[in-house]
Amino acid sequence: MKRSEINSIIDDAVRFFKTMKFAMPDFASYSIADWQQHKNTTQEIIDLGLGWDITDFGTGDFRTTGLLLFTLRNGKLKSKRYPKAYAEKIMIVQEEQVTPMHFHWNKMEDIINRGGGNLIIELYGSTVREGLSKKNITVSIDGTVTTIEAGGTVSLAPGQSITLPQELYHRFYGEKKKGTVMVGEVSMVNDDNTDNRFFETIGRFPAIEEDVIPTHLLCTDYQKFIE
């Protein structure tokens, strides 16, 4: 992805969050100069990868297959320095913008429609060899037990949420003609480097062409731009 595209996506996200009246933490608006000024007090943010995260999953087409995330809080397993056992993200999912089929080995999560359009989630159980199971799936939607067929979908309207246990494949996108969705994630500790099992081989973090200066740093930029 080009840096200019990433800058534009984040600018749009900032406007969307303001429209949705979702207040972001101070470091969401840090410039490179701000990060350098605060580098001695923001090590938790840097070490745990908090902040902006944009991916096109290696497709080169963010609008069709992509996701914008902002990690608000996180911990680290077996860490005395960062002992939180939970994580939280806020995400923006556009109409028909797909996050590909994947599961997590260690993380259980609640996916929450915080407002906007409807979020469609396609679900499959996994086999012992990490294939797609043909068995029906039972999940909890806002504490209500719900059973769907393998490959079936759940539609989450604003205010609704679903609990996704470990090793449950899920793929999601915004419903057409219903509007952009603000999606929350509350979960166990998150590690995007080791705990994503995509059904098809794709890239989690994009290669970036630095055609302009970053207006906001991504969580993967910290080591490069903070001296």
pLDDT tens for the chain, residues 1 to 227: 999 999 999 999 999 999 999 999 999 999 999 999 999 999 999 999 999 999 999 999 999 999 999 999 999 988 999 999 999 999 999 999 999 999 999 999 999 999 999 999 999 999 999 999 999 999 999 999 999 999 999 999 999 999 999 999 999 999 999 999 999 999 999 999 899 999 998 888 888 999 999 999 999 999 999 97
Q: What pLDDT is recorded for position 6? A: 97
Q: How far apart are CA 62 and CA 8, in angstroms?
A: 12
Q: What pLDDT is recorded for position 29? A: 98
CATH architecture of 3-225: Sandwich (2.60)
Name residues whose C-beta falls within 8 Å of residue 158's C-beta, 6 or more positions apart in sequence: 113, 114, 115, 116, 118
Q: How far apart are CA 226 and CA 33, in angstroms?
A: 9
Q: What pLDDT is recorded for position 119? A: 99
Q: What pLDDT is recorded for position 227? A: 72
Query: Pairing between strand 168-174 and 119-125?
Result: antiparallel
Print the SS3 string covering 27-92: HHHCCHHHHHHCCCCCHHHHHHCCEEEEECCCCCCCCCECEEEEEEECCCCCCCCCCCCEEEEEEE
Q: Residue 138 carries which side chain, given as an amino acid letter?
A: T
pTM (2 d.p.): 0.96
Sort residue 58 into left (φ over 0), alpha (ψ -120 to 50) or beta.
Answer: left
User: Within its chain, how far is the Cα of 227 from the centroid?
Assistant: 27
Q: What pLDDT is recorded for position 45? A: 97
What are the residue boundaries of the structural domains of the chain, listed by start? 3-225
Q: How far apart are CA 133 and CA 151, in angstroms?
A: 9
Q: Tokens standing for 9? A: 């996506």
